[in-house]
Amino acid sequence: MIEPHATLAQQEFIQKEMLHRRNVRVWRFMLLVLLLSLWELSASLGILNDFIFSSPSRMTLCFIDMVKDRSIFLHIGVTVMETIISFSLVITLGLATAILLWASRSITEVLEPYLVMLNSLPKSALAPILIVWLGNNIKTIIVASISVAVFGCIMTLHTGFSQINPDKIKLIYSLGGGKRDVLLKVLLPGSVPLIISNMKVNIGLCLVGVIIGEFLAANKGLGYLIIYGSQVFKMDLVVMSIVILCFVSAVLYQGISLLEKKIGHN
C-alpha cells in the first residue's frame, strides 16, 4: 500500500515491488499449471504408467470420494493435530534446555557431546524401539516427531544465545543486574528472529517426524494413508496423500511467517 505522503521515488519503488510480487505469483501459478498439465498429458498418452504414477485427474477423483465420506478430513486433522502438539513441545523443550545450557557452562560442557550424538542419530532407527516402549498409539508418534527436531533446536538456539552482543550483557551487569535481567532484557528479546527462524525449520521437521511415526504406529493420518495405499497398490491414494502433505506443510510454514510479520510490526 502506497503512503499518501511518500515521495515520487518512493512511490515508484513501491509500485515496482508490487509489480514484481504480482509477477512472481503469476509465474508460480503458471509453473504449477504447466507441471500438472504435463503430468496429466504424459499419463493420458501412456508415457507414464498411471497405475504406478497416478495422474492429477485420478488423484482428484480419489480426493472427491474421500471428501464425500469425510474420511479425508479425519486423516488431515489427525496429522495436523499431532504436528502442532509435537511442534509446541519441541519449541518449549528446546528453548528451556537452551536457556539452561546458556546459564551453566558446566552443564553445557557435560551435555554437548551427547546432544551432538543424538542429533546425528537417524531418528527412524528409534521408531521400532518407541513402539515397544510406548505401544502402538499417539504417544509413540509424538515422541518420534519430537526426537526428529528437538536436539537440533537445542543446539541452534544455544549457539545463537552464545553469540548475543557481549557489550549489552556487560552493560546489564554494570548497572547491577543479574543473569535473570540479562535473560529477560537482552537474551530473549534479541533472539526473537533466531527463535522464529528456528520455528520455521522445526515445523517441517515435526511434520516429517509425525509421518515417520504414522508409518509404524497409526491407524489414521496421512502417513497411515501413504503406507496403507502402498501396501494395497492404491497409488492414487498414496500420491494424493503426498500432495496434501505438501499443502499442509506450506500452510503451517505460512502460519509461522504470519507470526513473524505480526511480531515485526509490534
Tens digits of residue pLDDT in 79-89: 999 999 999 99
* Longest Cα–Cα distance in the chain: 77
Residues 6+ apart with CB under 8 A from 160: 191, 194, 198
pLDDT at 4: 55
pLDDT at 128: 78
Class level of CATH domain 71-265: mainly alpha
Residues (pLDDT < 70) of the chain are 1-6, 264-266
The string over 232-250, giving b where at least 16 C-beta atoms fall within 10 Å of a residue's C-beta and e elsewhere, is eebbbbbbbbbebbeebee
Q: In this structure, what C-alpha cell is assigned to residue 122?
A: 537417524
- State whether the Cα torsion 97-100-105-110 is positive or negative: negative
pLDDT at 211: 92
pLDDT at 217: 79
pLDDT at 247: 93
pLDDT at 67: 92
Is 126:147 a contact under the CB 8 Å cutoff?
yes
Q: How far apart are CA 231 and CA 236, in angstroms?
A: 12
48, 133, 202, 206, 249 from 209: Cα distances, Å: 31, 17, 10, 5, 13
